[in-house]
Amino acid sequence: MRRQRRLTTFFICLLLGASMGAHAGPAEDRKALIEYYKQQLPDIKFENYNMGALAMNRDAMDQYDSIMTFPPFVLDVDVGRVIWEKPFKNAKHFSDCFPDGGKNIAGNYPYFDNASGKVVTFENAINACLKANGEAELKYDSREIGLVTAYAKSLSDGMKVNVKVSGPGALAAYEKGKQFYYGRRGQLNFSCSICHIDNVGKFTRSEQLSMMIGQAAHWPEFREGTELLTLQGRFRQCNKNTRSVPLEFNSEEYNNLEYFLTYMSNGLPMQTPVFRK
């Protein structure tokens, strides 16, 4: 009898220990969300998640396909190419700052840099390259950084997003991004997750809410006219739409959020640049 009770206590401790040890990490978070979306959106294949709301609407997808046959942003991307190819004063180029001349590398961003203790976005790498070569850095809200990023990322078109979270610093940055995502803010007291997770596929005004997995794989976007929107520009819009004060481009909070959100798009092909309404 006593022995049996002791054994039971032993097993309860074992179970408790196991459940405490099994703290959900990035891989589990992502898996759970993929499962959730599969149930909510059974007709949409995982490989189409980076099409976002377009994957939910045949007409919108047809329109998108026809726009992409002769994309209106071709000349803008060409301006980006000119910036990318222009030699620095020391005769070096952007392509010297990246492995393989910058081909198939953008899917590795953002990454966590242990030395600085910070998330490094692709735009940060562009500016680090300018700085290292004695050139003036670009403003994060400038059209120029958007254009050069659009061209540079087109060199990684089709690469699968491959963001890594390993080590305590990286995990802490990921967790901060995740907290931001699930945290309520602004006058309307919305979190990102209320729209893009809880209400995925539903309409707000005329727009259908996209799934967050896949959202980070296609930036910057070109919109109607010649408007160019970066991912953090989109964060600002979504913050403003819920009457929350948008943060600065390249703020630590947005960089952590971008890190978290891009990790969630792992395994999906990058597509840059793209058109969105």
Residue numbers at the binding site for ligand HEC (CB under 6 A): 52-53, 190, 192, 194-196, 204, 207, 209-210, 215, 234-235, 238-239, 241-242, 257, 276
Q: Which residue is nearest to ligand HEC (CB)?
A: 192
Residue 36 Cβ, how far from ligand HEC at the closest point, in Å? Answer: 16
Residue 162 Cβ, how far from ligand HEC at the closest point, in Å? Answer: 19
> C-alpha 120: how far from its chain's center?
12
Q: Which is nearer to ligand HEC, 48 or 133 (CB)?
A: 48
Q: Which is nearer to ligand HEC, 96 or 267 (CB)?
A: 267
Q: Which is nearer to ligand HEC, 26 or 52 (CB)?
A: 52
Residue 136 Cβ, how far from ligand HEC at the closest point, in Å? Answer: 29
CB-neighbour burial class of residue 141 (10 A; exposed 0-12, middle 13-18, buried 19+): middle
Token pair belonging to 257: 């959020």
Residue 139 Cβ, how far from ligand HEC at the closest point, in Å? Answer: 21
Active site residue 97: no
Of 269, 224, 274, the C-alpha closest to 106 is: 269
Q: Quickly tell me which residue has 């950084």 as its tokens.
A: 145
Q: Which residues make Cβ contacts (< 8 Å) with residue 245, sequence separation at least 6?
A: 186, 239
Task: Say if residues 110 and 164 touch (Cβ distance below 8 Å).
Answer: no
Q: Which is nearer to ligand HEC, 192 or 228 (CB)?
A: 192
Q: Which residues make Cβ contacts (< 8 Å) with residue 38, sequence separation at least 6?
A: 46
- Would you please indicate which residues are annotated as catalytic (active-site) residues? 238
